Every structure is written in structure tokens, then in C-alpha cells.
Structure 1
Amino acid sequence: MKVFAGDDKALLAARHKINEEFSKNKQVQDEDAIKALVKLGEDVERELKTQIIQAKQIKPGVFQAKITNDTLKLDNLPYNESAILEEPNPGRPCCQSKQENK
């Protein structure tokens, strides 16, 4: 309700998914399995609260984002084109070359 407040379509989709998952697992009786499912639900809730934001377009090309106290906020560094190496450093192997050798 908090993450999707005011967004009836998202609230309906979330409610549908919650009911679908509950119905799929309602026959589970093993206590450890139930605890694992509850933990999964709590993890999903935390992920939604911290990673999802609502944004609405207030005029063409301009959006207003709804950021909550729960929203994870990280430092946002501007793109620095000079930080990209034109050619790989000959002294250091490229991580992609490791994948190619496998």
C-alpha cells in the first residue's frame, strides 16, 4: 500500500501476485519451508520499499519522483567519458577475455 499508493493499476497487480503466490504455497505444512516463505515475503517487501519509486510526468520531459524515507539513496556520480580506456591496458588482462577462454 505504501510503495504503490495512488497507483490503482500497480496495487491491483501487486495484490494479484500476492494472492497467486499464497494460493501456490497454501498446502505447505513444513515449518522450515513456511519460515523460508515468510522470509522471502519480508525480503520482497524490503526490496520494494527501498528500490521502487513512483514517478509521474508533470509536463513533457519532466517527471516528479516520489522518494520516501525507505528509498535507498546512493551517491550519483556524473558520467565521465575520460574514465573509459580507449584500449585495454596491456599490463592487465581484461575480464571479458577470461569469459572468452572458458
Structure 2
Amino acid sequence: MSTLRLEVLKCFKSLHRTRQRVFEGDVKALVLGRSQINIEYKKNQDIKDINKINKLIETSMNVEKELLTTVIQAKEIKPGVYKAEIRPEILRLDNVPYKDCDELIDKNK
């Protein structure tokens, strides 16, 4: 088995593990995610061009990173009340106030 094929299989398995982690407990999202991953890989299984395959591997890795760093799962704990499940790898950005807000605050002083 070629190293490129092994890399593709590694990305395929890694995406599925990420899907399981990100959507843990959400049966609908798990099923839809599995289906979409499988559809995309089957759609591209006959590609022979090494450059295209490398580009698809890169895309797969980017999708995995995006799922891990941006998708937050919220569960309803009682009607109208949700609890966010924020994993350690979720990207956290500084909250920067909108510029016009500073001007309004200064005018009110």
C-alpha cells in the first residue's frame, strides 16, 4: 500500500474520530457527519493525480481543525436553558468592543 493511500486513510479515520468527539451525544449530527464524510471520500476515490490528492488531504486536515476549534455543542438542560460544552481546543478570541460604543460611552461621561 502506498504512503499516499495510507495518508488518505489516516485522514479519513481522523475525521471520523473528530466527528465522534465534536458531536458526542448528538445522534443526528453524528449520523449526518458520518454520511457526509463517506460521501466526500467516495466521490474522490478515483482521483489519481497526486497534486489533487495532496490538496484533498490538506482540505481534510483543515476541515478537522475547523471542527475542533470552532464547533461548540450546546445541550438543553431544561426548557429554554442551554449549557455549552466547550472543549479545551476551542478557539477563544478577545472580545473587542465595537468602535462606536467607546465614543458613546465617552459622550455620556
Q: TM-score range by the shorter chain?
A: 0.7 to 0.9
Aligned-partner SS, 2:47: coil
Aligned-partner SS, 1:72: coil
Aligned-partner SS, 1:2: helix
Return 5+ residue gaps in structure 1 as ranges.
Answer: 86-102
Q: How far off is 1:62 after superposition?
A: 2.1
The 1:79/1:56 distance shift into structure 2, 3 A limit, reads: farther
Match of 1:66 in 2: 85
Match of 2:5 in 1: none
Match of 2:23 in 1: 4
Aligned-partner SS, 2:22: coil
Q: How far off is 1:47 after superposition?
A: 0.2
1:14 and 2:33 aligned: yes
Specify the structure having the higher radius of gyration (Cα): 1
Q: List structure 1 runs of 4+ shifted beyond 3 angstroms.
A: 77-85
Q: 1:38 aligns with which of 44, 57, 60?
A: 57
CA deviation string 1:2-58 (max 9, x = no partner): 111111110100000001101110110111111110110000000010000100121
User: How many correspondences in the alignment?
Assistant: 85
| Structure (1/2) with the larger helix percentage | 2
1-structure distance, mates of 2:78, 2:99: 29
Give percent identity, aligned residues only. 46
Match of 1:55 in 2: 74
2-structure distance, mates of 1:42, 1:57: 31
